[in-house]
Amino acid sequence: MESNKKYWKGLDELQRTPEFAEKNKNEFAEELPLEEVLSESGLNTVTPRRDFLKTLGFGLGAVSLAACQTAPVHKSIPYLIKPEEVTPGVPNYYVSSYNGQSILVKTREGRPIKVEGNGTGLFGNHGTDATAQASVLDLYDVSKLKSPKLNGAETSWKELDAFVKGELNKVQASGKKIRIVSSTVTSPSAKSVIAEFISQYPNTTHVQADAVSYSGIIQANGSSFGKAVLPRYRFDRADVIVSFGADFLGTWIAGEEFTKQYVSNRNAQSLKKGKMSRHIQFEAGMSMTGTNADSRIAVKPSEMGLAVLALYNAVTGSQTGGAQIGNNTAADKAVKLAAKELQNARGRALVVAGSNDVAIQTVVNAINAALGSYGATIDLDNPFYTYSGNDASFNAFVDEMGRGEVGAVFFLNTNPAYTYFNSKAFSDALAKVPLKVSFADREDETASLCNVIATNANYLESWGDENAFEGYYTLIQPAINPVFSTRQAEQSLLIWSDNAQKNYYQYVKAYWEKNLLPAAGKTWKQLLQEGFVYTGEKPATAYTFGGNVAAASQAIATQSKALAKDIEVQLYESVAIRDGRHANNAFLQELPDPVSKVTWDNYAAVAPKFAEEQGIEEFDLIEIKGANGYTVVLPVLLQPGQAKGTISIAVGYGRTKTGKAGNGVGKNAYPFASVVNGTVQFLTTATISKTGGKMELAQTQTHHSYEGRTVIREASFKNYLKDPHTGNDKHQGEHKTYDLWPEHKQIGHSWVMAIDLNACTGCGSCVVACNVENNIPVVGKDEVRRRREMHWIRIDRYYSFNEGGKSVTEEKEIEKLDNFDDVSVVHQPMLCQHCDHAPCETVCPVIATMHSSDGLNHMAYNRCVGTRYCANNCPYKVRRFNWFNYWNDSRFDNYLNNEFSQLLLNPDVTTRSRGVMEKCTMCIQRIQGGRLQAKLEKRPLKDGEIQMACQQACTAGAIIFGDFNDPNSEVRKALGDERTYYVLQELNVQPGIGYQTKVRNTVEA
């Protein structure tokens, strides 16, 4: 039975090492100096009488002085002329766009403090990813340049314009080339600006290249179907999904949209209809998508292409290339099974691959064509425009620079000195260019090589637009005046190209009014309110596969042989830091990785068994030497589920010039990449050696122990269909309960929450949203190591073993297992459960934590004296203690504690001071605000009107909050679901948060 399944958070807990037991015995990491005090020397230390009197006297004096003061003088400065729409104390919302998604920016007294999904946006519901939530912090980043720079010295825009224009004219006259290098530009207005710049300076070409490239897919589609685009995948239409290393819920193309699509076939509504998609993942490192898969098979990078080929053969019945996937029998078996399932779901099947190899993508196209996916689950007619970078054109550009043909170069939203695998070749070539202009907002790796830095504005200060996919246009509108002396890159280009229109706002407006608004039948004013225009899907046209599978299989075989020699290294994007552009965002650095729960570092993830073979232990520093000779020293992380003989390393770390928070965090892995078959591939072979050192990673997962109690309930889809209560009945009727507490009568509202474990993908967006909403400090790597991170909501990740489709239940069996490759994962968001019979309340000596009449567990910071008894007594381990005055302590200046980033603080939430306990308040400021709004409008509260920050950020809609006393509320319906259970309900603490069991669509072998 599934409910007997053994869950573990980390290998330490699984193996119950003595260190782990010792470490977890205590609530807090630090040793109490008890021994020291009780030993003789401790007892003999005396506080001299004089010192005592001095302290006493000082204390009394200070108190008397405090009592003597008249009222403190606080200045109150009203607006000179108040904008009509601003009422101090009431937030304003502006619609904008981030990463192609329509968002709402919440501003208070003119400063943006929060980003939410645009509820009326195209995707209907709310939700953003973690990077969008954290993006507000970038606005107030003090590491940004405060004014433009010319030849290393601060300058004015006027001087800079004169200089650049003069140089441009010289370059134009000399006939040398001008290049605008950028990551993918989706903005139609910006593209138009660039086109007009090119017409002014005809020697100009626009080179687009993405740090993490998708040119493999684009090229493959070009050769297979004559349409070189990034197609729009439709996971919502797919019943069977097979992914070869594509982290489509996290970082692959459009993780946020894919999450919505994917979850729509797996959430409560879908299960109620008896429908659940099946997801099979083949991958080397454990990705977030892999943790959500129903079946996950570890394959090495060298085997990946072979596995794709094998699937192609199994689906089509042909015999192209080798039949065996290396020595991976599990993969062999899985591919055959997958082929059968895919064939049964023709037209409802989808195969995706994360590889940037044209050959692999060509074979994947062939499989999808054979399965009838085109026009069904893959839409080539309404493609994504978010990545259209071309690796080959960037390589050609580097060569051009090397030959001295380029006279001027402009870098827009790109940082090749850091992200280009051969950064030395790049910087050497760049040195030969006379005019180097960077639009970076800070002096980053590339900008510091440039002679002009025309500081670009943050997106919250800018006008603009985005076009994430065909027909969907979103508007960026500023929510604040520029914080520093910055100017939009587009505006700079307009000025430098002597455009007739030098104001980019007017330019965007004119562009929309001419090109986009008439078709949509909207006015500019409507657009400013709605934020987007969707012109609808283009009808699907039929495509026939015209690719060359035989040639592709040749290429795959060669590549596979080249990789299979040594230890294989796979590079990946981490969910938080992505390609490195978020490296200076402290919120994202401290967001635990969804799988490894590591913060503030990248690491070499290896399989536990493989580490044992190599004689390395967790946190050992190893030197990894890539095929191209690049070496890097990284700490080891033992990652269950990692393919043996492989190392996974996240890119985006090891930035040297990103700012105070991100500099020197982790190591740069980009140089391991190489160009194979014309595209940049994040694979290499490597040799490793121990350096002898050790470095403890700042992990959050090992902090708390439930002492082996089962907090996860899980069922297979098959059993769920038989009985929806499956996996959920273990403790029912077992205990006779005795109440130590009086019954709470909740006469008004009763605030409760429901969390669907089957919808949660573990992305961590809720964590960042909670941080921003509730002024939760970032504490830094050292403090996380001491288990002092402050997150009010965390996502617990539990592993369990699978063996041949069966779940391993008995402890004895676990010891026999040596296969850490086959583990399954459950993510569980954990926050204060707002117990009716809260154990924390009973032990507080000063009654600082109390129960409210509407079912919340209140925490009065000003009453708390910091005994930490409550944290000790909390069975869910959700209370966090302020060890420092994080908002006013110079040691934390790098993160949020400075005069700029303090502007991010939510004025409705107190910042807590040192020595005070805190925890999830159930966003009580939002509850109070929502109730007040209803009272002001003299109407009953509407269900869904009040949303928690975590709920609002959840793309998957896994979190529902509401009033249990409202019989029609969504949350009441959700909690009435058969799958609902309460964590540790046997303790009879009567938690207010119900969870719904995880259902996995496994196939019993």
Partner 1 sequence: MSSISLVFRRVVKSLILVSVLSIGIHVKAQNAPDANAAAEQSAAGAATGASAAQAVKGDANAGGAIFKQKCTACHAMDRTVVGPALKGVHERHDEAWLIKWIKNSQALVAAGDPAAVKVFNEYNKTVMTPFPELSDDDVRNILAYIQVEGDKPAAPAGGAQGAEGSTGAGQGSGEVSNFMLGGLIVVVIVALLVILVLNRVIKTLERLLLQKQGIVIEEEADEEGESAAAKIRRLSKNKKLVFFITILLIIFFGTWGWIAMWNTGVHQGYQPTQPIKYSHQLHAGTLKIDCQYCHSGAYKSKNASIPSLNVCMNCHNYVQATEKYNGEISPEIMKIYKALDYDPQTKQYGSNPKPIQWVRIHNLPDFAYFNHSQHVSVGGLACQKCHGPIQTMSEVYQYSPLTMKWCINCHRENNVNYKGNAYYDKVIAVHDQLKKGEKVTPAVLGGLECGKCHY
Which residue ranges make up the site for partner 1 (CB under 8 A)? 63, 66-67, 70-82, 87-90, 745, 747-748, 848, 850, 852-854, 856, 858-863, 908-911, 921, 924-925, 928, 931-932, 934-936, 938-941
Q: State the sign of the Cα–Cα–Cα–Cα dihedral 430, 434, 440, 443.
A: positive
Residue with smaller CB distance to partner 1, 161 or 945 = 945
Shortest Å distance, C-beta 782 to partner 1: 28
310 closest CA partner among 356, 242, 374: 242
Residue with smaller CB distance to partner 1, 78 or 539 = 78
CA–CA distance, 290 with 795 (Å, rounded to integer): 16
The partner residues of 14 in beta bridges, in order of sequence, read none
Residue with smaller CB distance to partner 1, 360 or 916 = 916
Residue with smaller CB distance to partner 1, 90 or 551 = 90
| Beta carbons within 10 angstroms of residue 806's beta carbon | 12
Shortest Å distance, C-beta 776 to partner 1: 13
User: What is the bridge-based pairing of β-strands 993-996 and 751-756?
Assistant: parallel
CA–CA distance, 514 with 9 (Å, rounded to integer): 56
Shortest Å distance, C-beta 857 to partner 1: 8
Run of H or E including 307: helix 301-316
Shortest Å distance, C-beta 907 to partner 1: 9
Shortest Å distance, C-beta 935 to partner 1: 4
Find where tokens 């998508």 sit: 289
Residue with smaller CB distance to partner 1, 191 or 858 = 858
Shortest Å distance, C-beta 648 to partner 1: 42
Shortest Å distance, C-beta 891 to partner 1: 22
Shortest Å distance, C-beta 66 to partner 1: 6
CA–CA distance, 968 with 966 (Å, rounded to integer): 5
Q: Angle CA(749)–CA(751)–CA(752) in degrees, nearest 5?
A: 145
> Residues 141, 901: contact at Cβ < 8 Å?
yes
917 closest CA partner among 992, 852, 968, 867: 867
The residue type of 752 is: V
Shortest Å distance, C-beta 146 to partner 1: 23
DSSP 764: -
Q: Is 465 exposed, middle or buried (0-12, 13-18, 19+ CB in 10 A)?
A: buried
The residue type of 601 is: D
Residue with smaller CB distance to partner 1, 304 or 903 = 903
160 closest CA partner among 432, 496, 443: 496
Shortest Å distance, C-beta 856 to partner 1: 6
Residue with smaller CB distance to partner 1, 46 or 77 = 77
Tokens read off for 723: 């009985």
CA–CA distance, 920 with 916 (Å, rounded to integer): 14
Spatial CB neighbours of 604, under 8 Å, sequence gap ≥ 6: 622, 624, 634, 635, 636, 637, 647, 648, 649, 688
Give the 3-state secondary structure of 514-563: HHHHHHHCCCHHHHHHHCEEECCCCCCCCCCCCCCHHHHHHHHHHHHHHH
CA–CA distance, 265 with 722 (Å, rounded to integer): 19
> Residues 999, 849: contact at Cβ < 8 Å?
no
Shortest Å distance, C-beta 886 to partner 1: 15
Residue with smaller CB distance to partner 1, 58 or 524 = 58
Residue with smaller CB distance to partner 1, 96 or 833 = 833
Residue with smaller CB distance to partner 1, 41 or 76 = 76
Q: Can you spell out the DSSP letters for 822-848? A: SEEEEEEEE-----TT-HHHHH-TT--
Residue with smaller CB distance to partner 1, 273 or 938 = 938
331 closest CA partner among 277, 279, 283: 283
Shortest Å distance, C-beta 937 to partner 1: 8
Residue with smaller CB distance to partner 1, 521 or 845 = 845
3-state secondary structure of 693: strand
CA–CA distance, 207 with 398 (Å, rounded to integer): 11
Shortest Å distance, C-beta 84 to partner 1: 10
Shortest Å distance, C-beta 960 to partner 1: 21
Residue with smaller CB distance to partner 1, 237 or 837 = 837
Q: Can you spell out the DSSP letters for 869-911? A: HHHHH-TT---EE--S-GGG-GGGTTTT-STTGGGGS-TTSPP
Residue with smaller CB distance to partner 1, 826 or 848 = 848
Residue with smaller CB distance to partner 1, 75 or 158 = 75
Residue with smaller CB distance to partner 1, 193 or 941 = 941
CA–CA distance, 188 with 208 (Å, rounded to integer): 15
For helices 188-200 and 489-496, angle between their N-to-C axes, nearest 10 degrees: 20
DSSP 671: G
Residue with smaller CB distance to partner 1, 656 or 852 = 852
Shortest Å distance, C-beta 491 to partner 1: 23
Residue with smaller CB distance to partner 1, 795 or 922 = 922
Largest separation between any pair of C-alpha atoms in the chain: 93
406 closest CA partner among 429, 440, 373: 429
Find where tokens 């994917």 sit: 262
E-strand ranges in 562-619 read 567-573, 598-599, 604-606
Shortest Å distance, C-beta 888 to partner 1: 12
CA atoms within 13 A of residue 681's CA, in its CB half-sphere: 25
Shortest Å distance, C-beta 77 to partner 1: 5
> Residues 593, 143: contact at Cβ < 8 Å?
no
Tokens read off for 201: 């300076």
